[in-house]
Structure 1
Amino acid sequence: MSVSISQNLKEYSRTAEQTTRDALVMNHLWLVRHLTGKVTARLPMGVDIENLESAGMLGLVEAARRYDASRGVDFKSFAALRIRGAIYDEARRNCPLPQEVMQRVMLVSKAQEQLTAPISVDDLVAETGLAKDEVIDALLAMPLIRVQSLDQVLDDPTRNSDTAPDASAEFAEQKRLLADAIAALPERERLVVTLYYMEDLRLKEIGEVLKLSESRVSRLLAAAQLQLRSYVGTNRKDA
């Protein structure tokens, strides 16, 4: 093969790859807006939504650049983790919490470390001396300090797929534990989790379905997430 033909083929390949990446980005712009809306609904008032959406866009572009279809993971799932992570990173950089909220977060975090799992909101209330709403507000504020949501319970299923032969079996076990944990939730919290994560509804939409305020739905979701993390973490250690 001549040098010129080889160079032309390489250039064509680069162009085709770029076209594919551009298509992935354009076809998933809605996902950035959707995830920005879901994240900001659970953050303190006053966040700059445009900045967070811009960060989510960068996460989408990076996802398109890194995506490898041969791994068998659909692009929406692959991109959602990176978009959400980029949004939370931007929120942490630009949305410092008030000192009193920081103190409550630290109290709740310390209580979580000291208590024996599984841990409930009532356990945290008894351990910290805070009111129930203050504990839940601290749980809601934790994403601004560290990403600690249900999306991290299972981690990224593609992360160790090349180096860990047992990754698929471990991921399947984590999903089983999570399903058991969801089944054990109180009915209303179980419904909120199902609508938020499996039906992909926003808090406002869930509130309309359940006839609850958006704030109440947010608190139910935070309480459910605490129980899910605690249940999955405990059973993984026991396994």
Structure 2
Amino acid sequence: METTHGLGTGNRSAAAPALPAATEAMIVEHMPLVGHIVRETMARVPSHVDRDDLTSAGLTALVMAATAFDAERGVPFNRYAATRVRGAIVDELRSIDWASRSVRRRSRELDATRANLANVLGRVATPAEVAQAAGMSVSEVAANDEDVARAQVLSLHASEDDAIGERLVSTTPNPLAVIEQKEQLTYLVEAIAELPERLRLVIEQYFLAERPMAEIAATLGVTESRISQLRAEALVLLRDALNHELDPDALAPEAKPEGCAAKRRESYFAAVADRHAAGVRRPVRGQRISISA
């Protein structure tokens, strides 16, 4: 990746002014963060997504984050930069045409072959018949169909004469939606792990172990009403923790920002962010988390 941001002394562009030394140092120091986020993303998207494209988008976002960073806001740079980098990578994924030109062309050819065979045979052709007519193997036809099925955002860039973009019906999840869902689940698991002990126990026992409130109340030696209150308190914390990391605009402001409750909440948010930044993952072990009040 070529850069015009003045990183290093041997590749400066006359079109862009050199960055301050402190800013360059901050960028270089946090380049591994981009690599970590890209690796995390590549594990969740189809194999044909180009790692270099995501890396380029991430590094560009890192440079922009470093130049715009204001330490007086009280947000650590690594957290601020991670948010910007993830946002840039999501934007890059939105802009990607998931099906290459060759995949599109071959898909149109196969569709035409299927249509011709249907007219001749009076029925839907079998995969073997389609493969023989197209001069391909059955596995090649299946592979092309799978590639097209992964083209979730194809219609965003399909041209007017590219009918497949309009009629494609995919049974696979949108890659971007998969990423966002897994990111939310990751933060949720980490946010549960950072809850105060009693709140964490209530959430784990009620939602994961699916124990009745009466049993949880007996375990903790409190009333069912108190368990209900603890559950509600935990849900608010979890919701706010996810919004703090993934959708800050949706985070409700504190009524008393200087109060003890606000400080405890900010401390909790910081703990969740630190756990995520450290790359700590606690597997859900096949359990399906579905939390609602």
TM-score, L = length of structure 1: 0.46
Return the index of the structure with the highest Cα Rg. Answer: 2
* Structure with larger RCO (C-alpha < 8 A, sep 6+): 1
Select the structure that is richer in helix: 1
